[in-house]
């Protein structure tokens, strides 16, 4: 499996890193970002180590999620031998609603 992090997910990671840096400093922010990226890297070797999202519509569309720690989640979709990461978000936000709205406004995002 090959993991590809899409621009929307990189933006989410940057938001998380900025928030953590503002609250706890650069070292903690880098540690959190590394932890998230490590969890996504594990998907290459263990692509079935995912969970269903809390949104049945996203699940029916083939999206799954992986929780990096208690506060961060990544939503992805497997296509053939690739895993596309669409969202990296804080679990305390309405990340499924935001992603669903994004998909509905631009269905071309998922190809």
In 48-100, DSSP assigns E strands to 51-52, 63-69, 72-79, 82-90
What phi-psi label fits residue 89: left (phi over 0), alpha (psi between -120 and 50 degrees) or beta? beta
β-bridge mates for residue 63, sequence order: 77
Return the pLDDT at 42: 94
Quote the pTM value.
Answer: 0.91
CA distance 109 to 111: 6
Return the pLDDT at 6: 95
Percent of the chain with pLDDT over 90: 79
More confident call, 98 vs 16 = 16
What domains lie within the chain, and their CATH numbers?
2-104 (3.30.2310.20)
């Amino acid at each position: 499996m090959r993991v590809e992090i899409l621009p929307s997910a990189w933006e989410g990671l940057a938001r998380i890193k900025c928030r953590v840096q503002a609250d706890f400093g650069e070292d903690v922010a880098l540690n959190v970002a590394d932890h998230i990226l490590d969890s996504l890297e594990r998907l290459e070797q263990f692509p079935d180590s995912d969970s269903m999202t809390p949104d049945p519509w996203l699940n029916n569309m083939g999206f799954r999620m992986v929780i990096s720690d208690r506060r961060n989640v990544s939503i992805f979709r497997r296509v053939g031998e690739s895993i596309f990461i669409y969202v990296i978000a804080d679990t305390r936000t309405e990340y499924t609603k935001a992603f669903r709205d994004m998909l509905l406004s631009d269905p071309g995002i998922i190809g």
